[in-house]
Amino acid sequence: MSNTTTDTAAASDAALERRAIDVVRGLAMDAPAAARSGHQGTAMALAPLAHVLWSRIMRYDASAPDWPDRDRFILSCGHASILQYAMLHLTGYDLSLDDLREFRQWGSRTPGHPEVGHTPGVEVTTGPLGQGFASGVGMAIAEQSLRARFGDEVCDHHIWAIVSDGDLSEGVSHEAASLAGHLGLGRLVYVYDDNHISIDGPTELALTDDAAKRFEAYGWHVQSLGEASEDLDALEQALTAAKDVEDRPSLIVVRSHIAFPSPRLTDAAAAHGLAFTPEDIADTKQLMGMTDEAFQVPDDVAAFYRDAGSRGRVQRLDWEQRSPASLAGREAEWEATLGARGLPGWEEALPSYGADGHPATRVASGECVAALAPVVPGFVAGAADLIGNTGTKLPGAPVLEPGTPEGTQVHFGIREHAMGSIMVGAAHHGGLLPVGGTFLVFSDYMRPAVRLAALSRAKCVFVWTHDSVGVGEDGPTHQPVEHVMSLRLIPGLTVIRPADGNETAAAWRVAVEGTGPVALVLSRQNTPVLATTAARAADGVDRGGYVVHDADAPEVVLVATGTEVATAVEAAGLLEDGGRSVRVVSLPCWSRFDAQDDAYRESVLAPGVPTVSVEAGVTLGWERYADASVGIDRFGASAPGSVVLERLGITATHVAEVAAGLLG
């Protein structure tokens, strides 16, 4: 072929790529315009970057979005979701042009921000800024763990993300970036869209950080491309260079121009949201050589992107052919690892406790953790600098650190928020059952990540200990009172506050068998093993509530959670000494109990019988089950834990008095 012919073909290909990018920009204007809601400018500015990622860089097969060894993509600036939806549609994922027309509408597959499990090709739920950034770190941890344990014939891919100034401003990204740099996560590549625009105006109103220097200080590999957002070859070269860096994560800084190439709105703060009038759209499309038609995708552009989306099929089929040999003899382990499940018979490893024991539930949980690690292949556990305190120690396990990617003992450092988000990302990647611990009072620091875990059904286990004013001398700053009740408000979060060691083991069974996030709320102080839990806890915790102490024709029901169940049992003894018939109910998980049928709930709570709740926390909410409540509707105090509990009325004597008063 002559040089002239070669040059002509290259020019033709380049022209097609430019037209393809313009189509993406057109969709980025059209879908929000049709919805009268959305974010146009960022998606337009990032169209060339998205084009390079999906057509030149990423390894994926649009026809098999769940292929385990695919590259992962995260749009951390989730408000620009139309960009991701456009690329998913164009490259052949199961997302139609009609789905784009239904952008942000009720029941559509194209919600306002990307949601994993809702839209094919979306790997993690993003939108709250910084969450996608931190979740990507979890995905990179999961990828390197699988690769280290099963070999690169089975796992060998990258995590790609686009992040914004908003992501880098949020504190969670600082926490996550620091840990990623420490761990040297070489399969993690982020592109920073440095567009200098925020909602209120120029980012310089509040942000003058040197992002490149900051990430270099974190230990990242950094490339500053300057004005290269429209240079496809420069973008490809930088992404390829980052892909080749194996010993640390990469950040590529690109100066872009929001809403480019709009004649009126380029670099305008208004373009962060819905800014384009019909005239603006027409003018911009005319400038790009397009017609006014909405949602236009020419056949040659569609064919170009479909080819890009199917290119990875050869790699997927090759993986499917070679992976069985690599996994020979380890098939069960692989399946359990990907599903975050236990090996056959794993339940038998859980400890049981006799009535002569009295371990704190955090101690019992620690024994469960140690027992589960060998029989749940994806089990990784750690804490925010509180491994010993929270019972998340894996005896003899390798520590996750640079050079030990197979490590299962994770030191998250004092980074509670990032810990939560990293757990969510690791869970959605697949291959890990992440467990992370801290004190219950610091669940406040994690709440945004916990909420997204519940919203996106991420299978992870939050271990929160030191669950009441029984913490003692540390005082009210460390004594949770409102936290358990506030966590119960989160839809989809299974909150379990076990009463003793047997309930704790049963709670771990729920966590491993389940499909979404579980919160274990555990005591610092010792608590007796109840006489009936060895026989009843497995089914009782699974159902959320059950009878632990009963009498014929009970006159009063005491319903409690956690260590206060033992207090209620003791109070029942006092009442029975006075001739009263008493039932005691343990209610470790409200959501699971509420999911039972009416007959079961009524068999436990005995409707019509006066009921007293007992919990060392706020009483708001207990009115759904109880006629009177023993709780703590104030902050705690600094003193030995037993003294604080006594002074605030969490005693068997006080419970008995309240029940007697209720009986008149």
Which residues are bridge partners to 254 per DSSP? 193, 226
646 CB-near residues (< 8 Å, 6+ apart): none
Q: Which amino acid is at 502?
A: N
14 CB-near residues (< 8 Å, 6+ apart): none
Q: Residue 458: which of 58, 126, 95 has the closest Cα?
A: 126
Query: Which residue is it, tokens 């540390």?
Result: 474
The DSSP output letter for 265 is: T
What gap in Å lies between CA 476 and CA 467, rounded to an integer?
12
Name the active-site residue from 102, 115, 416, 615: 416
The Cβ-side half-sphere exposure at 429, using a 13 Å CA radius, reads: 36
Cβ neighbourhood burial of 105 (10 Å; 0-12, 13-18, 19+): middle
Cβ neighbourhood burial of 266 (10 Å; 0-12, 13-18, 19+): middle
Beta-sheet strand order (sheet of 556-560) = 546-549, 582-586, 556-560, 611-614, 628-630
Cβ neighbourhood burial of 314 (10 Å; 0-12, 13-18, 19+): exposed
Q: Which run of H or E residues covers position 589? A: none
- Tokens representing 235 are 């973008």
The yes-or-no answer on residue 170 being catalytic is: no
What gap in Å lies between CA 394 and CA 402, rounded to an integer?
18
Cβ neighbourhood burial of 246 (10 Å; 0-12, 13-18, 19+): exposed
Q: Residue 439: which of 496, 409, 493, 479 has the closest Cα?
A: 479
What gap in Å lies between CA 70 and CA 315, rounded to an integer?
9
Query: Which residue is it, tokens 């009063």?
Result: 556
Q: Is the dihedral of CA 120, 124, 127, 130 positive or negative?
A: negative
- Tokens representing 271 are 């373009």
How many residues can be counted in the chain?
A: 664
What gap in Å lies between CA 369 and CA 433, rounded to an integer?
12
Helix (H, G, I), strand (E, B) or coil at 4: helix
The count of other CB atoms within 10 Å of the CB of residue 310 is 15
Helix (H, G, I), strand (E, B) or coil at 521: strand
What gap in Å lies between CA 522 and CA 524, rounded to an integer?
7
What gap in Å lies between CA 615 and CA 632, rounded to an integer?
8
Strand ranges (E), 403-455: 409-411, 433-439
Q: Active-site positions?
A: 416
